[in-house]
Amino acid sequence: MNWNWFHKFASPKWFYQISERILPGLCVVTFSLLFVGLIWGIGFAPADAKQGNSFRIIYLHVPSSFLALAGYFLMAIAGAIGLIWRIKLSFWVMKCAAPIGGILTLLALVTGGLWGKPTWGSFWVWDARATSMLILLFLYIGVYLLGRSFQNSDSGDKASAFLSIIGTVNIPIIYKSVDWWFTLHQPATINFTSAPSMHPDMFYPLLIMIIAFYFVYGLALTLSLRVEILSRERKTKWVRKLISQQ
């Protein structure tokens, strides 16, 4: 099998050049999806029968929770690829994914709290999902800080790749244990596990928002990866040439 494409894809220079070409298109798609999804969800979707208009925060809460989890697995997979095939670009993807994922987890927690206040009467409930999200935030913070506390940034990359892989092994265990702990203590006031079936008028804008958040994630990752490439490759010829041209 011809592996040339693989190594080409792993070259920072190639990525920098190709991302420059797709960035305008990516921006247009991202912002139009966000625009359509938000306007539809906040302005036109019908109000919920029980919760009224307060349910509309779902259009931020669900997509950000989705991406917070998906982003962790992306980060761990990128770290594993970096460790196995020794690809530096993959390490940098992992490094850039940590703060983005952390911010999305924080957003999910904050919107969840804001949603919880009118619905259940409190900003925070120690239930399985909220608690696991909080622990996920701690894991993200750990990966972020560990990667930046090494003098040699290459060993920082490897250490945080290991931590993110260890975290991935742990996430299901943590989730199961917290879930069990929650059922043990039985507050039993809320039940979020059985999601009510949604009306299509509410569901389509949600779907659009989820897709839009995937694009937002991709855009944020691409932008920060480009900065990371420039700063890590600042001593190479092509970056110097690029800077002297501008």
Binding site for another protein (CB under 8 A): 83, 135, 138-139, 141-143, 145-146, 149-152, 155, 158-159, 162-163, 166-167, 169-170, 173-174, 176-178, 180-181, 184
Least distance (Å) from another protein to the CB of residue 82?
10
User: Encoding tokens for residue 115?
Assistant: 């949603």
Q: Which is nearer to another protein, 59 or 182 (CB)?
A: 182
Least distance (Å) from another protein to the CB of residue 131?
8
- CA 209, CA 186: separation in Å to the nearest integer? 33
- CA 75, CA 140: separation in Å to the nearest integer? 10
Q: Which is nearer to another protein, 138 or 203 (CB)?
A: 138
Q: Which is nearer to another protein, 53 or 149 (CB)?
A: 149
Taking CA 225 as the corner, what is the angle to CA 222 and CA 229, rounded to the nearest 5 degrees? 135
Least distance (Å) from another protein to the CB of residue 187?
16
Q: Which is nearer to another protein, 56 or 232 (CB)?
A: 232
Place of tokens 């693989």: 6
Least distance (Å) from another protein to the CB of residue 126?
12
Alpha carbons within 13 angstroms on the beta-carbon side of residue 183 total 7
Running DSSP on this structure, what letter comes out for residue 52?
A: B
Q: Which is nearer to another protein, 150 or 204 (CB)?
A: 150
Running DSSP on this structure, what letter comes out for residue 57?
A: G
Q: Which is nearer to another protein, 26 or 159 (CB)?
A: 159
Least distance (Å) from another protein to the CB of residue 37?
32
101-106 long-range contacts (CB < 8 A, ≥24 apart) are: 101/67, 101/68, 101/71, 101/72, 101/75, 101/140, 102/137, 102/140, 102/141, 102/144, 104/64, 104/67, 104/68, 104/71, 104/213, 104/217, 105/64, 105/68, 105/133, 105/136, 105/137, 105/140, 106/137
Least distance (Å) from another protein to the CB of residue 71?
16
Taken as a whole, the chain contains a residue count of: 246
